[in-house]
Amino acid sequence: MIRFLHAAALLALASAAHAQPKPQPLPAPPAEPPTPASIVADAPASDWRPIDPADLLVMELAPGRSGEERRVVIQLLPPPFSADWVNNIRTLARAHWWDGTSVYRVVDNWVAQWGAGEDEDGRAAPLPPGLVNVPESAYVTPVRPGPEDGRDFVLTPRREEVMVNRWIDPYAITAFVAGWPVGLDDSGGRTAWPVHCYGSVGVARDLSPDTGTGAELYAVIGHAPRQLDRNIAVVGRVIEGIEHLATLPRGTGEAGVYADRAQRVPILRVRPGDELAPGDLPAFEYLATDSASFARYLQVRANREDAFYKVPAGGVDVCNVQVPVRRAAAG
Amino acid sequence: MIRFLHAAALLALASAAHAQPKPQPLPAPPAEPPTPASIVADAPASDWRPIDPADLLVMELAPGRSGEERRVVIQLLPPPFSADWVNNIRTLARAHWWDGTSVYRVVDNWVAQWGAGEDEDGRAAPLPPGLVNVPESAYVTPVRPGPEDGRDFVLTPRREEVMVNRWIDPYAITAFVAGWPVGLDDSGGRTAWPVHCYGSVGVARDLSPDTGTGAELYAVIGHAPRQLDRNIAVVGRVIEGIEHLATLPRGTGEAGVYADRAQRVPILRVRPGDELAPGDLPAFEYLATDSASFARYLQVRANREDAFYKVPAGGVDVCNVQVPVRRAAAG
């Protein structure tokens, strides 16, 4: 919104400094209230967790019009969330099944969708062996009330902590687990599920009871379509290169499919991160959602008090939290 | 997500019909639960309100790479919301002030921003006379408890009804007024304000107490940045052509400004809708938010029960409601 905020802020500080009488020692400038960016910058190394390259998918689209590389890096959800679909996706990636398929459907404020594996005659390419049919019950995963150490909920059977988000939500109680935003139902069955946010990757499917194999995937390129939660499997999120999907032309055919096959965006290859040559994939890390830094980050996301903001929001939508993920500093 | 939902649903209906013994009269197919789209399609003409062309801004960008026209139609907020900024924007549009300026900043999952009016030397073009400086107090507008007829709140001084949204929200009570989603503070001052959703148009500004003239505008092209509510003036929404902004390349300079001036997207012209020649602008209409159709639409947005959905969400984010706006049928 503001065009040169950093420049303006620096200028203001510089002017303030300039107003001080020269010979006197300069007082420390007043501490600026923290911002999400400053908290991320100040988070100690111990609050970051590495992302295993084996948990990444690297999708390379055909170069853009100016010849630019278009690489999309997807982080897969850790178990127990959507585990069987994620296993299918690993199988598909190891089989190089998506190579030569395309992004064939793009709908504004909704999704970009790829896979399909249809040749020019519309026949689907055969799927690799080993894929499983996942039941609808796998859209959610059980949680249990935590032990007597103050934790509200833990995932079963991993006993991983579920950090409940204090901010209210129109759809569900929300929480964070191992760097991921989740919904939570404490009304009876006690379940948790990954939520659809901008950049989330999910498994396209036909009508129930079909749950999709994972061969057709989509990424959210608009406002969080939370009504899909528990109705479609979320399997990951785009951590780099979402713009290569979000800027694609919108499809004008039925349901946003490209009306002309020539508009389809070729997928050169999709590879598991650990199949790439060393040096061809940067290391990534995320801010641990059970860290003190993340707690501060969440608080400031809900209550901005830096110079640009006049009225702190007093809350934050779980999809506006945006768990920090970044390239790790070179070791 | 689903590729051919309509086709599949029709096929299922056709098969069901086919299974009936031929000579017997066919029973009516079971009524499908309504969808947001079916409610919109079934809404009577009396539930739609025309949008005055004078409340539209038509922005034409330079043609795209394939020579395609890129027209963005913006509906301005009705008074009393952001009225002084909207008046400034009308003045700027009548002066053709944006002609020759550009979209110069695009940030993924955030905004596309335009205006600026700087020539190649970085000097701002002079603003037209008559613009007013708007105080920060104008970010909100007063509401009053309603009269004894059951209405909760009315806008002052227009006495227009504020339809409170029953679904909870992390940021505020929310409501709808004359087709627009608003936030609502009932804790003391009783105020309402337009909220930032996908497609919302707002007024870029510098640090407080600057509130922006309206000469630099942005459109939201990602998840609703509700933390900006009451901190920046929302003045309208894109009702057609948002994809021409959402698909623009992301800027790589500071704060997402295009690093190379050649990347800027020229704005050929911005015109008030009533300045366009008859026939050059379709008629638009919105679904009245105090209509029975809208009440049904809202209920179904929060609880999808059609074939694709297994678990109704039980709520809806105010920015996922998406008040229906469409081209009016030719008269």
> What is the complex's ipTM, to 2 decimals?
0.90
Instruction: Spell out which residues of chain A touch residue B12, defining contact as CB-CB under 8 Å.
Output: 207
Q: What's A36's DSSP letter?
A: H
Short-list B4, B321, B331, B326, CA closest to B163: B321
DSSP state string for A236-258 = EEEEE-THHHHTSPPP-SGGGB-
A207 → closest Cβ in B65, B116, B307: B307
The residue to which tokens 């970010």 are assigned: B139
Instruction: Spell out which residues of chain A touch residue B246, defining contact as CB-CB under 8 Å.
Output: 108-109, 246-247
Please check whether residue A219 is in contact with residue A200, taking contact to mean a CB–CB distance below 8 angstroms: yes
Q: Which residues pair with B221 in a beta bridge?
A: none
Please check whether residue B205 is in contact with residue A2, taking contact to mean a CB–CB distance below 8 angstroms: yes
Torsion from C-alpha of A314, A319, A323, A325, nearest 10 degrees? -140
> Which 3 state secondary structure label does DSSP give A117?
coil
Position B150 scores a pLDDT of 66
Please check whether residue B223 is in contact with residue B109, taking contact to mean a CB–CB distance below 8 angstroms: yes
Instruction: Spell out the SS3 assignment of chain B.
Output: CCCCHHHHHHHHHHHHHHHCCCCCCCCCCCCCCCCHHHHHHHCCHHHEEEECHHHEEEEEECCCCCCCCEEEEEEECCCCCCHHHHHHHHHHHHCCCCCCCEEEEECCCCEEEEECCECCCCCECCCCCCCCCCCHHHHCEEEEECCCCCCCEEECCCCCEEEECCCCCCCCEEEEECCEEEEEECCCCCEEEECCCCCEEEECCCCCCCCCCCCCEEEECCCCCHHHCCCCCEEEEEEECHHHHHCCCCCCCHHHECCCHHHCEEEEEEEEHHHCCCCCCCCEEEECCCCHHHHHHHHHHHCCCCCCCCCCCCCCCHHHHCCCEEECCCC
**Burial (0-12, 13-18, 19+ Cβ within 10 Å), A31:** exposed
Element (H, E) at A70: strand A70-76
Position B31 scores a pLDDT of 79
Judging by DSSP bridges, how do beta strands A141-145 and A153-155 pair with one another? antiparallel
What global pTM score does this model have? Answer: 0.91
Position B278 scores a pLDDT of 80
Q: Residue B173 is which amino acid? A: I
A105 → closest Cβ in B3, B109, B170: B3
Instruction: Spell out which residues of chain B touch residue A168, defining contact as CB-CB under 8 Å.
Output: 168-170
Instruction: Spell out which residues of chain A touch residue B222, defining contact as CB-CB under 8 Å.
Output: 198, 222-223
Please check whether residue A112 is in contact with residue A267, taking contact to mean a CB–CB distance below 8 angstroms: no
Position A159 scores a pLDDT of 73
Position A125 scores a pLDDT of 77
- Report the residue of chain A nearest B314, measured CA to CA: A171
Short-list A139, A123, A140, CA closest to A210: A139
> Which 3 state secondary structure label does DSSP give A39?
helix
Instruction: Spell out which residues of chain A touch residue B108, defining contact as CB-CB under 8 Å.
Output: 242-243, 246
Kindly determine whether residue B207 and residue A311, on different chains, have CB atoms separated by under 8 Å.
Answer: no
Residue ranges for chain B with pLDDT beneath 50:
1, 3-22, 331
Gyration radius of chain A over CA positions = 22
Kindly determine whether residue B3 and residue A204, on different chains, have CB atoms separated by under 8 Å.
Answer: yes
> Which 3 state secondary structure label does DSSP give A170?
coil
- Report the residue of chain B nearest A111, measured CA to CA: B1
Q: Residue A110 is which amino acid? A: W
Kindly determine whether residue B313 and residue A171, on different chains, have CB atoms separated by under 8 Å.
Answer: yes
Quote the CA–CA distance of A236 and A218 in Å, as a whole number. 10
CA distance A191 to chain B (A): 13
- Report the residue of chain B nearest A106, measured CA to CA: B1
Position B23 scores a pLDDT of 53
Q: What's A156's DSSP letter?
A: T
Peptide bond between residue B142 and the one before it cis (omega within 30 degrees of 0):
no
CA distance A44 to chain B (A): 25
- Report the residue of chain A nearest B113, measured CA to CA: A1
Kindly determine whether residue A3 and residue B204, on different chains, have CB atoms separated by under 8 Å.
Answer: yes
DSSP state string for A286-322 = EE-TTSHHHHHHHHHHHS--STT-SS--S---HHHH-
Q: What is the pLDDT of residues B229-264, one digit of tens each?
A: 999 999 999 999 999 999 999 999 999 999 999 999
Residues 6+ apart with CB under 8 A from A195: A171, A172, A174, A181, A182, A183, A224, A226, A229, A234, A318, A319
Residue ranges for chain A with pLDDT beneath 70:
1-27, 29-30, 117-123, 148-150, 157, 330-331
Quote the CA–CA distance of A176 and A153 in Å, as a whole number. 11
Kindly determine whether residue B255 and residue A316, on different chains, have CB atoms separated by under 8 Å.
Answer: no
B315 → closest Cβ in A171, A242, A317: A171
Q: Which residues pair with B237 in a beta bridge?
A: B75, B200
Instruction: Spell out which residues of chain B touch residue A318, defining contact as CB-CB under 8 Å.
Output: 170
Please check whether residue B80 is in contact with residue B120, taking contact to mean a CB–CB distance below 8 angstroms: no
Q: Which residues pair with B145 in a beta bridge?
A: B153
CA distance A23 to chain B (A): 31
Kindly determine whether residue B171 and residue A248, on different chains, have CB atoms separated by under 8 Å.
Answer: no
Quote the CA–CA distance of A285 and A53 in Å, as a whole number. 10
Please check whether residue A217 is in contact with residue B304, taking contact to mean a CB–CB distance below 8 angstroms: no
- Report the residue of chain A nearest B304, measured CA to CA: A227
Structure tokens at A158: 């991993």
Q: Residue B100 is which amino acid? A: G
Kindly determine whether residue A308 and residue B207, on different chains, have CB atoms separated by under 8 Å.
Answer: yes
Handedness of CA B75, B76, B79, B82 (dihedral sign): positive
- Report the residue of chain B nearest A165, measured CA to CA: B170
Short-list B71, B67, B48, CA closest to B276: B71
Please check whether residue A171 is in contact with residue A93, taking contact to mean a CB–CB distance below 8 angstroms: no
Kindly determine whether residue A207 and residue B8, on different chains, have CB atoms separated by under 8 Å.
Answer: yes
Quote the CA–CA distance of B183 and B107 in Å, as a whole number. 25
Please check whether residue A176 is in contact with residue A163, taking contact to mean a CB–CB distance below 8 angstroms: yes
Please check whether residue B32 is in contact with residue A207, taking contact to mean a CB–CB distance below 8 angstroms: no
Residues 6+ apart with CB under 8 A from B65: A65
Quote the CA–CA distance of B229 and B207 in Å, as a whole number. 15
B226 → closest Cβ in A2, A222, A313: A313
Which runs of consecutive H residues, i.e. helices, occur in chain A?
Answer: 5-19, 36-42, 83-94, 243-246, 292-302, 318-321
Residues 6+ apart with CB under 8 A from A194: A77, A81, A82, A180, A181, A182, A183, A200, A229, A234, A235
Gyration radius of chain B over CA positions = 22
Q: Residues 70..129 of B with a Cβ closer than 8 Å to A: which?
A: 105, 108-109, 111, 113, 116
Decide if A317 touches B, using CB distance below 8 A. Answer: yes
